[in-house]
């Protein structure tokens, strides 16, 4: 702008004079009136030893507006139910994914950034496939 600033579309928090970037504004979604920043939830889940990468995507929900879904790449033998239980002890209830899906090889881009939009669409298709 005229003052030398530019909008990054990042969301940050200032605590004791220290700025922490918590995520992208365009990734923020709301579930039951609570704001969910996917990157915050992903950081918690990434602390689980067997998780290689995780993406939190919103899934439309009639009651809550949107609900978080976890798309996870983890080591062989990693049980998603154990990961969900571990995460539930560390996340607020509204942040807890309502569904856990394994990241399919078809969406892995060999080190190239994975599209959140593509993950969201894929997760939506998986959810409808399990409900039908």
pLDDT of residue 10: 59
pLDDT of residue 131: 44
Note the pLDDT tens digit of each residue in 4-16: 666 665 565 677 8
- How many angstroms separate the CA atoms of 109 and 67, rounded? 26
103: which DSSP letter? P
Q: Is residue 56 part of a domain?
A: yes
Q: Is residue 76 part of a domain?
A: yes
Q: Is residue 2 part of a domain?
A: no
Q: Is residue 117 part of a domain?
A: yes
Q: Is residue 1 part of a domain?
A: no
- How many angstroms separate the CA atoms of 96 and 89, rounded? 9
Q: Is residue 65 part of a domain?
A: yes
Note the pLDDT tens digit of each residue in 81-104: 999 999 999 999 999 999 999 998
Q: Is residue 3 part of a domain?
A: no
What CATH code is carried by the domain that includes residue 119? Answer: 3.30.300.30
Note the pLDDT tens digit of each residue in 41-69: 999 999 999 999 999 999 999 999 999 99
pLDDT of residue 121: 92
Domain that holds residue 50: 10-131
Output Rg (C-alpha) for the chain, integer angstroms.
16
pLDDT at 73 over 90: yes
Q: Is residue 4 part of a domain?
A: no
Number of domain units in the chain: 1
On whether the CB atoms of residues 120 and 57 are closer than 8 A, the answer is yes
Terminal alpha carbon distance of the chain: 50
Residues comprising the chain, all counted: 132
């Amino acid at each position: 702008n005229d003052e030398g600033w530019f909008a990054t579309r990042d969301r940050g928090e200032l605590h004791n004079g220290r700025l922490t970037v918590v995520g992208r504004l365009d990734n923020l979604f709301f579930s039951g009136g609570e704001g969910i920043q996917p990157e915050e939830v992903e950081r918690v889940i990434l602390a689980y030893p067997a998780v290689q990468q995780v993406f939190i995507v919103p899934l439309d929900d009639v009651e809550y507006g949107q609900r978080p879904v976890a798309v996870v790449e983890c080591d062989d033998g990693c049980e998603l139910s154990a990961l969900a239980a571990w995460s539930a002890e560390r996340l607020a209830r509204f942040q807890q994914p309502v569904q856990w899906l394994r990241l399919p090889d078809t969406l892995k881009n060999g080190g190239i950034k994975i599209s959140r939009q593509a993950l969201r669409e894929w997760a939506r298709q998986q959810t409808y496939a399990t409900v039908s």
